[in-house]
Amino acid sequence: MTRRPRTVLAMSAVARERLFTPESLDRLRAVADVEASLAEAEVLLTGWGCPPVDVAAAPRLRAIVHAAGSARAIVTPACWARGIVVSTAAAANAQPVAEFTLAAILLANKGAPAAARDYRERRGRIDALVEYPGIGNRAKTVGLVGASRVGRRVIELLRPFELRVVVADPFLDAAEAARLGVERRELEALLAESHVVSLHAPALPATRHLLDRRRLALMRDGAVLINTARGALIDHEALTDELRSGRLDAVLDVTEPEPLPPGSPLFALPNVVLTPHIAGALGTEVVRLGDAAIDELARYAAGEPFAHPLRPEDLDRVA
């Protein structure tokens, strides 16, 4: 039997404005009592701008529905200790990140960033057939580091193309790799054979500087490194040295630190495409996260399990 759980919106005013259309707010009010106080709240519908959840201030809290990707910063150990169930919109946020990654892979294999740079500098005819004999999205190897939600969506989006996809992930077994239609690789082997390497691993103590100086040196000459995950996955000093040498190219949507200091050499290097953390849901895509959260709240109200739960045992493999 469906009921209307008392729910508090815990997010910034800007997040609320971006996440919910008038129509979706009507749907939200149809499935929940959103006028509840924190002391009465059974559910927190959280988003950007929400601080870590203080369970002492919400004695009746039973569920957190997070309308964003990572809930790690707001779900405290006390939440898990109480048995509060948690859902996130990470699956909805994975879609735009995967789309951005797909575009970056296809443009990298096509040599578009380098060709655009050459054309801008030369301002004359480019004989692409002669000058770029190795470009193209056929018979290239794409290496994905992490079979995460984003990594798996990237695998799906790459299927129409004549590309070989290899994946490094300690949680990916042979049977699952076969089901996904990819080849498993140890990280070092993946780096050595891939024309494009794209990172989709979480930022954890164990993954900090996963791509260090030694591993970056394994990448083949002319390879492109794409990072839409977390800046801490890469040793940026070592990467800067590789990029200065001209041996590698990079597409970096996330960095360490973020934002980069104004004097960072990455801004000036011609073989680096820098974007200001735009791969995740932005603009017209943000409403998808709000809709996903309302869907989860409706499931909770109907006594059904979350479709996209976050569990304590997942924390060693999610962002």
Sheet holding 309-310, edge to edge: 7-10, 43-46, 63-66, 85-88, 309-310
Q: Residue ranges per domain, the chain?
A: 7-88+283-314, 93-274
Q: Can you read off the two tokens belonging to residue 16?
A: 């609320």
Q: pTM of the predicted model, to two decimals?
A: 0.94
Q: Which residues neighbour 128 within 8 Å (Cβ) at sequence distance 6 or greater?
A: 115, 135
| Alpha-carbon torsion, ordered 95, 9, 71, 48, to 10 deg | 70
- Assess whether 213 carries a catalytic annotation: no
Is the CATH number of domain 93-274 3.40.50.720?
yes
- Assess whether 244 carries a catalytic annotation: no
**Per-residue pLDDT, 315:** 81
Sequence-ordered alpha helix ranges (H) in the chain? 13-19, 22-31, 77-82, 90-109, 112-122, 128-131, 149-158, 174-180, 187-193, 213-216, 236-245, 286-301
Q: Residue 10: beta bridge partners? A: 46
**Per-residue pLDDT, 1:** 53
pLDDT tens for the 319 residues of the chain, in order: 578 999 999 999 999 999 999 999 999 999 999 988 999 999 999 999 999 999 999 999 999 999 998 898 999 999 999 999 999 999 999 999 999 999 999 999 999 999 999 999 999 999 999 999 999 999 999 999 999 999 999 999 999 999 999 999 999 999 999 999 999 999 999 999 999 999 999 999 999 999 999 999 999 999 999 999 999 999 999 999 999 999 999 999 999 999 999 999 999 999 999 999 999 999 999 999 999 999 999 999 999 999 999 999 888 777 6
4, 164, 208, 277: the catalytic one is: 277
**Per-residue pLDDT, 88:** 96
CA atoms within 13 A of residue 224's CA, in its CB half-sphere: 23
Q: Is 291 helix (H, G, I), strand (E, B) or coil?
A: helix
CA distances from 21 to 27, 64, 214 (A): 10, 21, 48
Q: Can you read off the two tokens belonging to residue 75?
A: 């779900």
CA distances from 75 to 8, 72, 304 (A): 15, 6, 21
188, 258, 304, 311: the catalytic one is: 258
Q: Residue 234: beta bridge partners? A: 211
- Assess whether 258 carries a catalytic annotation: yes
pLDDT tens digit string along 186-233? Answer: 999 999 999 999 999 999 999 999 999 999 999 999 999 999 999 999
230, 288, 299, 308: the catalytic one is: 230
CATH class in words for 7-88+283-314 = alpha beta
**Per-residue pLDDT, 35:** 84
Query: What's the CA angle centered on 217, arms 203 and 153, to 5 degrees?
Result: 40
Residue 233 to residue 252: CA distance in whole angstroms:
12
**Per-residue pLDDT, 199:** 98
Q: What share of the chain is helix, strand, coil (3-state, %, to 5)?
A: 40, 15, 40
Please determine whether the domains at 7-88+283-314 and 93-274 fall in the same fold group of CATH.
Answer: yes
* Contact by Cβ (8 Å): 285, 69: no
